[in-house]
Structure 1
């Protein structure tokens, strides 16, 4: 057993909630609220419907002690099935938080896991629920960095955020150190090491693999409880990854997530923000744009370039997103689904948008997401943005009010103002003594 694992186990299983910074707990509550808005908004979308129906068909439980209702659905399935359905649903509306060094996403599995696990520990306090959230972020983020540094392929988030789910389950279900070690090993072995750039080249409902990451995490924890064993997790225990875990409990990664202003792949955000900034500064409408020239990093330049036929293609398209922003001044669910996929005004603008890779932006990825934009106007002006970093991260953070406003925009059209407000108050209330994880549960299971 490595010293690194012992450090991780001590943190995940034993670090008291009151030893975690208040700022980390407050951020954790905001990240859960932000993710909840996306989870709610994605519910009526096709991928979410399919995921929930499939969980009901295949992933039920014969034991009430392992069964939970699916969020905003109500049908009972296993804890693993519920986590799978909610994470897959959320993953298919690309507006949830992320962490630059991992090139991926954590909250997308943390919220589904928290709710699935919380049904069977309703007396857990709000601060302890947030401590479990923080544990998920801190373990998943470091596992992601470790994986990217130790293997050649760029793997989806499900490959490593499964370990964060294990850490949450181990904490909330009172695992022993031995059970925790076995669960991590099982999750790492079975985590979906799916290749992200294949999905970028051919956008589908697979997205970032997080549905399977959530399922694997919960399943691994239960397997370990019942005596199943797994090889030690090398993303934690290998000697050459120890440095990624050295600051556990000192540097709080949860406080350094980015919040997305748009439900679009983060790689496109700097370009969207650049166009937005130039248009606001010069008071332009899209009719005044003759052409747009965008320089960004390699991965951004690889995003889908044509008029999307599916919502998955729309969420992984830089030119489409830029066109929508330029025309409507915002990007909502209605623009990336349904009739938004055949919008003639957007289609007419796409040929005027040109994207290319710039080496200086590529060298700053994944630590940053950079682009610069040159906009040619119909009256002959050439307007430039300069280098732009995507908004919403540590470099340009959203305020608490910004996050709440975003949550409201996504949640209210689906569940209504009164229910959305009650969910908001319950989640943000977890920071207060006397609150419980169960404060939110009655609000999130009815369709």
Structure 2
């Protein structure tokens, strides 16, 4: 079955119970991150921009001001991306939900049922898991999630928008053609508010659907139509179950080193004062996260050394620890600036399917402590429980948590409007 037929035909009642449960938890996790992202300067800027340049009738989540569908997708996509705590997919080398969810919420008609919305969300995760890998195979450049997220959002969003099969193919072609082929490693080397391109990808998907609906035509989406080998498991193997989640709101590449520091800290009853410096062996891309003294939350999120130092000092890494106002702790900076990074052939060979790291603490009293090779927690093979994800969501969503959680957990039996009301 091809991506277009699969997306049109999928039914909630035909999904495995594990997939249904994961759809709810993925949605909840994304919304929790969105609440945290809303407090950032990035989100404030992009929401003001959307209101000024893309006015319309859709109220922005947690904001209330009216924007167009494209402005909504842009602002919410970048708000989620403003805090790097959302789910991801190892083969994609990126994040499906972040560009997907804003496009779906922007385009869903008021009469949409929650069941229809959740079903389309699952379809989007399955399409995104495959179109991302297909796109990576077309070019040696490592592109952001927004690039292939545009095509993903267009295919899934077309279902909610009621496009015909022919219009859907045009929407996918428009989105693929105009999608932001932004280079990921440029943002890694120079962390800014550009982030993972997800907001621009969501806006491109939404715009492509609206254009196709009006009769605008697009070339075939070759990452879908010309890559049959990538689609053979569609509908039989559920990639939404192979997503990873993030216990900490920083780049996935830094999470293995964080886990290593926390493991040694707990096992040996250490404090930061016991440690002279930290050494991390890992893969090339993680080493490129090289900002030791971040000036902004974007630089802190795209760093390996800084959140590792935070973990050693605080025993955790929370959104407040990497906020713009929390970047000048002298003990954290001491450990961050003294941290030594070493590239490993073993870790390089396993990337992107596995993100290995090994941590050594050099103690002030003399001697060293070293972990085994380890991967980030909450990986596809070590999934978090629903209780762990709910704990994270409640911490991130704060006072908004109860109403959003109630709406999401009952969404397959309620209209989508119950959720959009909770986001007001």
Q: Give the TM-score of the pair, scaled to structure 2.
A: 0.97
Structure 1 gap ranges (5+): 1-5, 62-66
Cα distance in 2 between the residues matched to 1:351 and 1:220: 45
1:429 to 410, 415, 422: 410
Unaligned segments of structure 2, at least 5 residues: none
Does the CA contact (< 8 Å) of 1:13 and 1:175 recur in 2? no
Matches of residues 44-443 of structure 1 in structure 2 within 5 Å? 44-61=39-56, 67-118=57-108, 120-122=109-111, 124-238=112-226, 241-412=227-398, 416=399, 419-431=400-412, 434-443=413-422
Aligned residue in 2 for 1:444: 423
Q: 1:93 Cα deviation (Å)?
A: 0.7
C-alpha contact (below 8 Å) 1:183/1:224 kept by paired residues: yes
* Length, aligned pairs only: 424
Aligned equivalents of 1:68, 1:290: Cα separation in 2: 53
Equivalent residues of 1:17, 1:131 under 8 A apart: yes
SS in 2 for 1:146: helix
Q: Can you list the C-alpha shifts for 1:83-102, whole angstroms capped at 9, x where unaligned? A: 11011111111001100001
Instruction: Judge which range, 178-187 or 132-141, deviates more.
Output: 132-141
For residues 309-328 of structure 1, the C-alpha deviation after alignment (integer angstroms, 9 at most, x for no partner) is 11111000100010001101
How far, CA to CA, are the matches of 2:178 and 2:15 in structure 1?
31
**Deviation larger for 391-400 or 348-357:** 348-357
Q: Residue 117 of structure 1: CA displacement?
A: 2.4
Deviation at residue 248 of structure 1 after TM alignment: 0.8
Answer with 168-177 or 254-263: which moved more. Answer: 168-177
User: Which aligned segments of 4 or more residues in structure 1 are displaced greater than 3 angstroms?
Assistant: none
Instruction: Spell out, residue by residue over 1:369-423, the C-alpha distance to the aligned partner (whole angstroms, 9 max, x if none).
Output: 11001112222232111101011121211100000100111110xxx1xx31111
> 1:267 is paired with a residue of what secondary structure?
helix
CA contact (8 A) 1:296 1:356 kept: yes
Shift of residue 333 of structure 1?
A: 2.0
User: How many angstroms apart in 2 are the aligned matches of 1:284 and 1:377?
Assistant: 10
Of the three residues 2, 7, 11, the one matched with 2:2 is 7
Contact 2:193 2:298 survives alignment (8 Å): yes
Per the normalisation by structure 1, the TM-score is 0.93
Corresponding residue number in structure 2 for 1:3: none
Aligned partners of 1:13 and 1:170 also within 8 Å: no
Name 2:38's counterpart in structure 1: 43
Q: Hey, what does 2:21 align to over in structure 1?
A: 26
- Give the C-alpha shift of residue 288 in structure 1: 0.8
**SS in structure 2 opposite 1:339?**
coil
Aligned to 1:290, the other structure's residue is in SS state strand
Further displaced range: 127-136 or 47-56: 127-136
Q: Distance in 2 between matches of 1:109 and 1:402?
A: 24
- CA distance in 2: counterparts of 1:308 and 1:24, whole angstroms: 39
Alignment RMSD: 1.2
Cα contact 1:201–1:302 (8 A) shared by 2: yes
SS in 2 for 1:227: coil
Distance 2:98 2:308 in 1: 25
Alpha-carbon shift at residue 220 of structure 1 (Å): 0.4
